[in-house]
Structure 1
């Protein structure tokens, strides 16, 4: 048995997987906000419940919205759940549960899940992307996460949109302090702003996709622009990483046209085409992150 925990800003989910990857138990609780130790207690309670329900004691893997300093073991300052910053979550969970624990970025966990037994199972090089409120990414090579020296490998959302048009430069302000980051164009809020740049309460990304599917001309133009931008952004990744498979998750991954249109469009930006990289939808959807956290402990 192995336990996976997906620590999100609004909910904390836990899963227990068998050695064969079968789901034995899963539940979720609201993530406490404002106090780090309340978050720790919440995880410990979930672990206790999971072990009681499965009558087992398990290793623990936790996917976090941030990264861990290799030098100190502390959560770095880029964590979206700011209560975690500066704390040694791994040691605290191990001390309170008595279970060996590993941490990884939640996008890395997503990529690991899909590379292990998901949509990219068997592929040598996998790039997992999350298109949602933000834009994240993770790299898995030969079944193992590549975190990078600075624990930021795969953070393509905070690189500039490549081959930007004149009207896309310098680009929208990003919370990271830069302008024109890929996240500002390809996130859900970015798609909404692209459709209605000045509207305070314009349609959501999901509503725009629905409108486009019904034939709304303005929405179709917005989605067409989004597909082109995504193709450029991923062509940049392919030119550097050359992955076998790119797996797409997050709310925007449900736009099925992406999987035919984007590979057609990215051919124009490849260094050496035609590209054979596959773009696929995540097999486990919202469950990939928590499954990947469990897979941080590989099979013996």
Structure 2
């Protein structure tokens, strides 16, 4: 049995998978925010509940909104800031009395979709989380690509490429960089542009309904969003040339993206031809927690 845990800022979720990837148990609890030890205990309670329900002991994998620094062994770059600077893997191993494997949550999305999702069997997968924030993960032959310094796939921290004059220098993100993918290619970035022009506080799905009804302002901001995401994906294509792109997060539910992004990507590709599938995550919101379980897929 494989146990996967998705440790997010608002909820911690566990799933138990059998060898065929079938769900055996699932439960979520609210994240004890700003309480590192409380989070460790919440995880221990979820593991105990899963093993009690199934009568089995499982391997444990974690997806977290950050990564473990190879230099210090401590969590870095987590937007759940109370885990930064903590020896999370050591603390979890001690509390659970077993080895654990930890990856960035976007890497878990990539692993999940490469294992039995939208990119099953693909050699090189670039998975993009386009939701409240925007990040990415890479899987090679179904394994997370962490990188030598634990920053493999940190695509969101890069400025949107081929920046237009009116975009420069761009808004500041949470780490103080300007014009980055993690804001402009997120659902938050899409909504903010529309809100700034119209002084109307609408969410992404509402803006898309207006766009589908022919509203010119909603259409303009959708096209701006597609251009920015397309340029960001073209940079990935030129750099790592994945076999498949997979989209997860709330913006991945916009069906028009799968038709419009190839056109937005094409002008920036350094090749005479480019054709790579862009697919919606098969497991949706479950991909992160499933990918954490599949970290033990040796």
User: d(CA) in 2 for partners of 1:229 and 1:9?
Assistant: 27
Matched with 1:21 is 21
Counterpart contact for 1:107–1:128, Cα < 8 Å: yes
Counterpart contact for 2:89–2:102, Cα < 8 Å: yes
Counterpart contact for 2:71–2:149, Cα < 8 Å: no
1:225 CA displacement:
1.4
Counterpart contact for 1:267–1:273, Cα < 8 Å: no
| CA RMSD after TM alignment | 1.3
Matched with 1:176 is 175
Matched with 2:270 is 271
Aligned 1:1-300 pairs, distance under 5 A: 1-76=1-76, 78-197=77-196, 202-299=201-298
Change in Cα spacing, 1:230 to 1:143, as seen in structure 2 (3 Å) is: same
User: d(CA) in 2 for partners of 1:280 and 1:172?
Assistant: 29
SS at match of 2:67: coil
Counterpart contact for 1:170–1:180, Cα < 8 Å: yes
1:99 CA displacement:
2.6
1:16 CA displacement:
0.2
1:158 CA displacement:
1.2
Number of residue-to-residue matches in the alignment? 298
1:259 CA displacement:
0.6
The structure 1 segments of at least 4 consecutive aligned residues displaced by more than 3 Å after TM superposition are 198-201
1:227 CA displacement:
1.1
User: d(CA) in 1 for partners of 2:44 and 2:197?
Assistant: 45
Deviations 1:164-197 (A, max 9, x none): 1110111111121111111221111211121132
User: d(CA) in 2 for partners of 1:74 and 1:172?
Assistant: 29
User: d(CA) in 1 for partners of 2:212 and 2:186?
Assistant: 19
Change in Cα spacing, 1:200 to 1:4, as seen in structure 2 (3 Å) is: farther
SS at match of 1:296: helix
User: d(CA) in 2 for partners of 1:161 and 1:94?
Assistant: 38
SS at match of 2:296: coil
1:200 CA displacement:
6.4
Q: TM-score, normalised by structure 1?
A: 0.96
Counterpart contact for 1:58–1:99, Cα < 8 Å: no
1:124 CA displacement:
0.6
User: d(CA) in 2 for partners of 1:271 and 1:48?
Assistant: 51
Unaligned runs of 5+ in 2: none
SS at match of 1:179: coil
1:220 CA displacement:
1.3
1:159 CA displacement:
0.7
User: d(CA) in 2 for partners of 1:185 and 1:27?
Assistant: 33
Counterpart contact for 1:119–1:283, Cα < 8 Å: yes
Unaligned runs of 5+ in 1: none
1:7 CA displacement:
0.1
1:198 CA displacement:
5.9
User: d(CA) in 2 for partners of 1:66 and 1:104?
Assistant: 8
1:82 CA displacement:
1.1
User: d(CA) in 1 for partners of 2:198 and 2:148?
Assistant: 41
1:228 CA displacement:
1.4
User: d(CA) in 1 for partners of 2:195 and 2:86?
Assistant: 40
